[in-house]
Amino acid sequence: MGPVTAGVLQLLALVGALALVHIPLGNYMAKVYSSRKHLRVEKWIYKGIGANPDAEMTWPAYLRGVLAFSAVGVLFLYLLQRLQGVLPGSLGFAAVDPDQAFNTAVSFVTNTNWQSYYGEQAMGHVVQTAGLAVQNFVSAAVGMAVAVALVRGFARSRSGELGNFWADLVRGGTRILVPLAFVAAVVLVACGVIQNFSGIHEVGQFMGGSQQWNGGAVASQEAIKELGTNGGGYFNANSAHPFENPTPFTNLFEIFLILVIPFSITRTFGVMVGSVKQGYAILATMATIWVGFVALMMWTEFSHHGPAFDIAGGAMEGKEVRFGIGGSSIFATSTTLTSTGAVNSFHSSFTGLGGGITMLGMMLGEIAPGGVGSGLYGMLVMAVIAVFIAGLMVGRTPEYLGKKIGTREIKLAACYILVTPALVLILTACAMALPTPANSMTNSGAHGFSEILYAYTSAANNNGSAFAGLNADTQWFNTTLGIAMLLGRFVPMVFVLALAGSLAGQRPVPVTAGTLRTEKPLFTGLLVGAILIITGLTYFPALALGPLAEGLA
C-alpha cells in the first residue's frame, strides 16, 4: 500500500467514525442542555459554589459568570505554579517564573494551551493534574456553555434570557466531557499511552549516554486535551511523543477525539432550534472547508519535489515515521482548524505552502469545525454575516432562523470578526519592528516572519500550536502572547453573548417567499465563500510576506 493510499484510507475511516456518532452524540448533548433535572453530584457542586441552577440569566449576567469563573481559574493556576516548589509531587522542580506562570495560567484558562516550556522539565504532578488537566475540562465547558447560550438566543423569543451559566458549565463537564474523557483514557491506556505517578528515571540511549524521563497521568490528560480541543501536551514533543501517541491507531483515535464534539454539536444546534436541516447546513459548511484543507495539505506534502523528498515519498522532514505524511497532514489540519493546538509533527518543517495552510486554518477563526463550543458560535456569527451579504444582494432585510439581522446584530457580528485579526496583525507588527522580540527568531527572511505571525495567530485564536523555531520563553512573548490569548478569548464572547441577548429579545419573523432558505446547499456555498473571502482580504498581505513568499520561492 502506498503512502497516498494509506492517507486516503485513514481519512475515509475518520469520516466514517465521525458520521457514526454524529446523531446520537448530538442528540444527547441537546438533551443535556435542555434538561430541567439535576444529578446529585451537580446539586452538591451548586451548593458548594452557592449557585441557583434554575435561575434564568440575561446576557450581562451570563457574561459576568463567564468572566468571574475564568478570572478565578487564572488566579488559582498562577498561584499553583508559583508555589510548585513546596507542593508534594513536584519532582524537584522549582516554582515557575512569574511571566511564564502568567502565560501558562492564561493559556489553559482560555482553552489555548500554548506552552513556552518543556512539560517534562518544568511541571510536577500536582500542577499537571490539579491545575492543567482540570482547566482542560472547565475551559472547554465554558466554550460549550457560550455556544449553547447563542443557540438559545436563536431558539427563544421575547425573553432576553439565555439559560443559566453555572448549570451549563457543570452539565457540560459532568455529563459530557468527563464520561467521554474517561472512556477515551481507557482506550488510550489499552493502546500503550502511559498513566502513572512515577518519578524521574534514567534511561539509556541506543547510541550511548542516558536521558532522564518522568512518568505522569498522561492518558487522562491526553484524552481531555484532544476531546476538549485544548492541546497542551504532558511532554514537550506533544502528540509526537510515544508516551502520548504510540501507534498509528492512537493517532487516528486522537484526531477523532479532536473533531467529535465540534462536528456533533451542529446536530445539537439543529435539535435545539427545531430544525435539524439547519444543523446539517452548518455541518456541511464545516465539513467542506475541513476536507478541502486536508486535501490541500496532503497535496502540498506528498507532491513536494527534490531528491530527498522523492526518496522519502514526500516531505517527511519533521514528521514521525509512525504516522507518515497522511497521518501528520490530517492531524495538522484538524488541530489548526480547531482550537486544539496539539501537534504530532513539526509544523515549521512543513513545506512553505503546507505551513501556510496551518496558519490559514487558524485565521478562519477556527470554525471548521472549530473548538468545542467556540467553533459553533464562530460559525453562527459568520452565518449572520452571510445572510446580511445576501440581503444586500437582493435588497431585502436579512433574516436568520426567524430573527431579523438589524443594525445592532450586524455591528456585534462585525466587531466579533475584527477582534482577532487586529490582535494578530498589530502584535506581529510590533514584534517585527522591535529588536528584542525579533532576536528570538531562529530563521530570517520569510520563514522567520512566519514564526512570529504563526505565534500570534495561534494565541489570538486560542489554538496553542507553535510553528517552532521561535524562542517564545521571554518576558516579551510570555506577556504579549498572554494578553493576546485573554483578549482573543473573552472579547469575542462579549459580542457573542450580546448578540444572543439581542436575538432572544426579538419576536420571530414569519417565513415568506422572499426569505433566504438557510438550510439549502446554496446558503452553504454562500457561507463558505463569505468565510474564505473575509479571511483572505484580512490576512492575505501578511500571508504573502511569509508562507506564500516561501512556498513560491
CA dihedral 371, 380, 289, 3 (to 10 degrees): 20
Give the three-class secondary structure for 256. helix
d(CA 492, CA 472): 25
pLDDT given at position 206:
67
Q: Give the DSSP H or E segment for 212.
A: strand 210-214
Q: Which long-range contacts (CB under 8 A, 24 or more apart) does 213-217 make?
A: 213/120, 214/91, 214/120, 216/120, 216/125, 216/128, 217/125, 217/128, 217/129, 217/133
93-116 pLDDT, tens digit per residue, is 888 889 999 999 999 999 998 888
Q: Which residues contact 144 (CB under 8 A, 6 or more apart)?
A: 168, 172, 176, 261, 265, 372, 373
46-65 pLDDT, tens digit per residue, is 999 999 999 999 999 999 99
pLDDT given at position 130:
85
pLDDT given at position 50:
94
Residues of the chain with pLDDT under 70: 1, 119-120, 206, 212, 304-313
CA angle 157, 159, 161 (to 5 degrees): 115
531 and 382 in contact (C-beta within 8 Å)?
Answer: yes
Domain spans in the chain, listed from the N-terminal domain onward = 3-199+212-274, 375-552
pLDDT given at position 304:
67
Q: Which residues contact 55 (CB under 8 A, 6 or more apart)?
A: 164
Of 547, 114, 7, which Cα lies nearest the Cα of 343?
Answer: 114
254 and 371 in contact (C-beta within 8 Å)?
Answer: no
Looking at the DSSP bridge assignments, the partners of residue 161 are 58
pLDDT given at position 552:
77
